[in-house]
Amino acid sequence: MSTSQDPFAHMQMLTMKRVSELTTYTIQHLYRLIAAGKFPKPVRLGLNRIGFRRSDIELWLEDKAAGRPYSPRRPGDDGEARL
């Protein structure tokens, strides 16, 4: 089933490694962007586990391709990791 047919595709979580592969940025650079507010914040999944909403990463990539600055679409979400 493709993601366009999957009603839960927007809820899929991506690992830091996968986000690094998709963006071609190093993990260290991603953390810098997060700290600067220029990249979607991760969601805490457990004590030692974070993930990123696939939909947030896709929106960030669309903004980047269109030359728009990043602006969070969900301010104040519960469960965001604190970095």
Domain residue limits, the chain: 11-66
What SS3 state is found at 53? strand
| Structure-token pair, residue 33 | 């962007």
pTM confidence score: 0.75
At 78, is the pLDDT very low, low, confident or very high (cuts 50, 70, 90)? very low
Residue 30 has pLDDT above 70, yes or no: yes
Cα 32 from Cα 12, distance rounded (Å): 23
In the predicted model, what is the mean pLDDT of residues 11-32?
Answer: 96
Looking only at Cα atoms, what is the longest distance across the chain? 36
Mean pLDDT for 23-34 is: 97
Say if residue 18's pLDDT is above 60: yes
